[in-house]
Each structure stands twice: as structure tokens, then as C-alpha cells.
């Protein structure tokens, strides 16, 4: 049933009247000790990234009960796991990510399209969840903007099959994918881990500064689950001078395409809150970001904190 629903939904992507034009995306918050008096944070660049593609944001709080989390997941249209620094064994971030992952599988199996996206740490979390073991190894890829090295049949993927050729060429030739990680999944480990190889299609690989290979882009074969080891949101929304982020017009096009793609997946889902008052209770609009630039030793220009 899920396969028929997924194929039919994909064929309707250009028919806006059949899609949800008020999508809401959940963003996982993260624990922090960097901001005195606050426990959780969310980089504002991820919020702006989602909003730039015409969706709204609900911050998924790490102190929610299972019941509240379940209620919200059934009322929104997808979730993004942001990058950052959280333990992928014991953290609440990881615990909730596993629940969100399973929600996407259950929803899709029941006939919905309910997408999940992982960026950097979120990408790593998807791999660890699917493999049910630590499949990561150390790489030298912090503050590292590079082109993608696409796999042979990447254009058969959902993520890139409708991508304009200009953006493909930018991704292939320009330093527009900002990496900022010290862990990754090697292509060899990926292919030898049956749970990963059977679940995800690798769309690109890259090498770190020391020539060590890592998987950089992937999507699930049967489910609307996507992951990038790099940071598409940074090209437009992060400006810390110490980071070598590409802010060129070509880099901006890449960010816009990736945001639009993920939100287009969420538009295939018609979940909604039971009332407008309930919706307003959870939307990010209730909160204001604070400046968190280099004067507080943060790699983010702005963050929401709780």
C-alpha cells in the first residue's frame, strides 16, 4: 500500500491543488551547556532554511512526554534532524530521533508520505539508527567546503531526478557543500553493513583532507528518509567569518533547491493540528532567537534557547 501511495504522491508533485500548501516541519532541539540558564537550543539557520521553502516550524522539545511527542508527530508533515554535537547512544536527541524515524516508517507503510531529513549529526544518527550499531569512523572534515562526487546512478534518485542541470553542475564542480564534522560513514563500511546497504541508496561520496572517503548524500529506497553529511542551510544563513562557507549565488541556488525538495516531500502529507489554537501553541513563532555569534564562541549567528 505504501508503495502505491508513494508513487502516486510523487506523480502529483506539480499539482499544487492536490498538495498541502501549509506544511509544518518539526526540528529537533539539542541539549547545551553553552548558554547559562538554558538547557536546549536550536540553530536559527535551520528554521530559516525550512521557512525559505514555504513551510513553518515546530521545535521538538527534548523534555516532552512520549504522549506529547506522538500527538505532535501525528499533526505535522515531517521532521528534520539538525547538525550539532549530541551523543548517538545515550542522548535524548538520539532517543527522540529513533521514535521519529519509526514514525516515518509506520506512516509510510500505512499509506502516507511523511519525510525525515538528517543533516550532519542528523545524517550520522540515521545511519546509526538503521544499522543499530556504531558505524562511524573519524575523518578530518571540519570547516571544509567541497563539491559532491556523485555516484553513477544518482540521477535516478528522488532527490536529484528533477534537479536542474545547472544545479547538478554546481554541486559537481563548485565548493558549495559545507562539511563540519569529525565522524562519518565510509563507503566500505556502508556497503558491508547489510542493514544500511539494503535501506539506503548512496547518492554521493567525498574524501576528507587526508583522503579518507565518506558517504555524503543518501536516500532510503522505500521510505521518504534523506540524509546529507554536509550543511545546505549554511550557504545562506550562517556568516561566521572563521568558517569557509560559500556564499556565492551558485551556493545560494543549491541551498534553495535542497530546501525546496525536502518541503515538497512534506507537502505530500496532509496531517494538521486539530485546531488553530493547538497549532499556534507549538509553532516557533512563540519564541525569539538570540544573537550567538563569535562573541559567545558559537558557530551559529542566531539560536533559539530554552
Return the active site residues: 120, 231
Give 276: exposed, middle or buried? Use CB within 10 Å, 0-12, 13-18, 19+: exposed
- State how far the Cα of 82 lies from the Cα of 64, in Å rounded to an integer: 18
Which residues fall within 8 angstroms of residue 288, CB to CB, at 6 or more apart?
A: 304
Contact 197, 179 (CB under 8 A): no
Place of cell 521519529: 100
Contact 180, 140 (CB under 8 A): no
Give 243: exposed, middle or buried? Use CB within 10 Å, 0-12, 13-18, 19+: middle
User: Which regions of 221-289 does DSSP assign to beta strands (E)?
Assistant: 225-228
The C-alpha angle with vertex 53 and arms to 269 and 163, in degrees rounded to 5, equals: 90
- State how far the Cα of 298 lies from the Cα of 89, in Å rounded to an integer: 24
SS3 202: strand
- State how far the Cα of 57 lies from the Cα of 300, in Å rounded to an integer: 18
CA dihedral 86, 180, 296, 34 (to 10 degrees): 0
Backbone angles phi, psi at 142, to 5 degrees: -85, 140
Amino acid at each position: 500500500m505504501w508503495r502505491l501511495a508513494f508513487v502516486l504522491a510523487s506523480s502529483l508533485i506539480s499539482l499544487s491543488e492536490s498538495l498541502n500548501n501549509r506544511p509544518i516541519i518539526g526540528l529537533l532541539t539539542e541539549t547545551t551547556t553553552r548558554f547559562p540558564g538554558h538547557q536546549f537550543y536550536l540553530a536559527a539557520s535551520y528554521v530559516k532554511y525550512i521557512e525559505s521553502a514555504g513551510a513553518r516550524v515546530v521545535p521538538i522539545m527534548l523534555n516532552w512526554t512520549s504522549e506529547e511527542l506522538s500527538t505532535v508527530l501525528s499533526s505535522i508533515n515531517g521532521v528534520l534532524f539538525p547538525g550539532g554535537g549530541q551523543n548517538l547512544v545515550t542522548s535524548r536527541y538520539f532517543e527522540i530521533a529513533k521514535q521519529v524515524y519509526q514514525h516515518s516508517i509506520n506512516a509510510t507503510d500505512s499509506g502516507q508520505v511523511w519525510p525525515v531529513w538528517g543533516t550532519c549529526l542528523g545524517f550520522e544518527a540515521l545511519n546509526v539508527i538503521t544499522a543499530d550499531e556504531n558505524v562511524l569512523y573519524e575523518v578530518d572534515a571540519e570547516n571544509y567546503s567541497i563539491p559532491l562526487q556523485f555516484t553513477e546512478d544518482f540521477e535516478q534518485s528522488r532527490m536529484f531526478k528533477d534537479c536542474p542541470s545547472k544545479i547538478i553542475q554546481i554541486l559537481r564542480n563548485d565548493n558549495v557543500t559545507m562539511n563540519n564534522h569529525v565522524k562519518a560513514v565510509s563507503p566500505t563500511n556502508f556497503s558491508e553493513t547489510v542493514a544500511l546497504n539494503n535501506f539506503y541508496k548512496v547518492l554521493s561520496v567525498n574524501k576528507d583532507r587526508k583522503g579518507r572517503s565518506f558517504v555524503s548524500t543518501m536516500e532510503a529506497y522505500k521510505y521518504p528518509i534523506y540524509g546529507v553529511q554536509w550543511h545546505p542551510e549554511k550557504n545562506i544563513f550562517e556568516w561566521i567569518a572563521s568558517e569557509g562557507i560559500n556564499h556565492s549565488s551558485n551556493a545560494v541556488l543549491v541551498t534553495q533547491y535542497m530546501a525546496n525538495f525536502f518541503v515538497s516531500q512534506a507537502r505530500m502529507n496532509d496531517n494538521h493540528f486539530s485546531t488553530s489554537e493547538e497549532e499556534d501553541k507549538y509553532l516557533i513563532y512563540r519564541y525569539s532567537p538570540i544573537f550567538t555569534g563569535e562573541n559567545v564562541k558559537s558557530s551559529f549567528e542566531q539560536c533559539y534557547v530554552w
